[in-house]
């Protein structure tokens, strides 16, 4: 149980600070002591209320123009999932996705040090938006989604409000799917209830830290986590 507590606190402290990456951190730590079939449903139930809290707290920064198309893409991306999973080796798709995330993250990091503001390419944004929505819907991969939202929002609060709202859509779909498939069990629910106070503590401290830190520092933390997410995606699927 100690490993579960450490993983939960660390993951949701980062979630409160940056708005995402909780799944990456939680599964990475828990990978040392539990099977993925036990990890994913618990993390899903823990992340659901965290996304609701972040969306509500930053609701004044919510933009329907950012949320609506991505939420739709997440739903649509889930539909061809079964066909895609049967026809290709998803590891290769995830490896390609990992390289794309690293490249986007590196480019975003470079842009942070430019003195002149670079105009966003609508074509690039559209491609990233399509890929991010589909990959989140298909595999629950949120890193590319974070890359897109990070490019179309101005502040960390705006980023958290919109990405958390999209995650709520994804979480809702997966909770229903996992329940129908019997992946969410009584033991899953019990573990989520026991760990919920740790989630709230980590999330609260992360949100407070974000208020203290400069917004640009928080944004750089988001970009670094993006790059780490991409690398982790590549490594995990090459092993």
pLDDT of residue 36: 58
User: Which letter does DSSP use for residue 60 in this model?
Assistant: G
* Domain boundaries defined on the chain: 2-238
For 164-191, what is the mean pLDDT?
A: 86
Q: Tell me what pLDDT residue 82 has.
A: 47
Report d(CA 163, CA 62) in Å as an integer. 9
Of 99, 163, 170, 107, the closest CA to residue 134 belongs to 170
The CA–CA distances, whole Å, from 103 to 66, 139, 203, 220 equal: 22, 20, 29, 15
pLDDT of residue 13: 93
Closest residue by Cα to residue 150 from 73, 220, 49, 77? 220
Is the CA virtual torsion 46, 8, 206, 155 positive or negative? negative
Span of 14-18, 85-89, 160-164 with lowest mean pLDDT: 85-89
Which CA distances in Å does 51 have to 20, 82, 84, 93, 101? 9, 26, 28, 27, 22
pLDDT 10s digits, 45-68: 999 999 999 999 999 999 998 888
Share of the chain above pLDDT 90, in %: 23
Per mean pLDDT, which range of 61-65, 173-177, 195-199, 203-207 is the poorest?
A: 173-177
Q: Residue count of the chain, please give it.
A: 239
- Classify residue 231 as exposed, middle or buried by CB count within 10 Å of its CB (0-12, 13-18, 19+): middle
212 or 131, higher pLDDT: 212
> Which one, of 213, 218, 93, lies nearest residue 153 by Cα?
218
8 A C-beta contact, residue 20 and residue 142: yes
Nearest to 158 by CA among 69, 57, 227: 57
Under DSSP, the state recorded for 59 is: G
**pTM as predicted:** 0.78
Mean pLDDT, the chain, rounded, equals 80
């Amino acid at each position: 149980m100690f490993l579960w507590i450490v993983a939960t606190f660390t993951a949701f402290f980062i979630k409160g600070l940056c708005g995402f990456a909780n799944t990456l951190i939680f599964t990475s730590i828990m990978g040392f002591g539990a099977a993925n079939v036990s990890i994913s449903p618990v993390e899903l139930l823990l992340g659901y209320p965290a996304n609701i809290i972040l969306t509500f707290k930053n609701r004044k920064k919510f933009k329907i123009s950012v949320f609506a198309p991505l939420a739709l893409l997440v739903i649509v991306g889930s539909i061809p999932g079964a066909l895609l999973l049967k026809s290709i080796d998803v590891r290769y798709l995830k490896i390609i996705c990992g390289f794309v995330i690293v490249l986007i993250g590196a480019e975003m990091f470079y842009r942070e040090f430019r003195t002149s503001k670079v105009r966003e390419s609508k074509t690039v944004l559209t491609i990233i938006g399509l890929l991010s929505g589909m990959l989140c819907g298909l595999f629950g991969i949120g890193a590319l989604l974070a890359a897109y939202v990070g490019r179309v929002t101005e502040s960390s609060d705006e980023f958290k409000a919109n990405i958390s709202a999209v995650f709520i859509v994804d979480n809702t779909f997966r909770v229903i799917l996992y329940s129908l498939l019997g992946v969410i069990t009584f033991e899953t629910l019990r573990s989520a209830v026991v760990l919920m106070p740790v989630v709230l503590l980590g999330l609260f401290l992360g949100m407070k830290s974000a208020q203290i830190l400069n917004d640009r520092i928080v944004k750089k933390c988001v970009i670094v986590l993006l790059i780490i997410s991409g690398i982790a995606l590549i490594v995990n699927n090459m092993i």
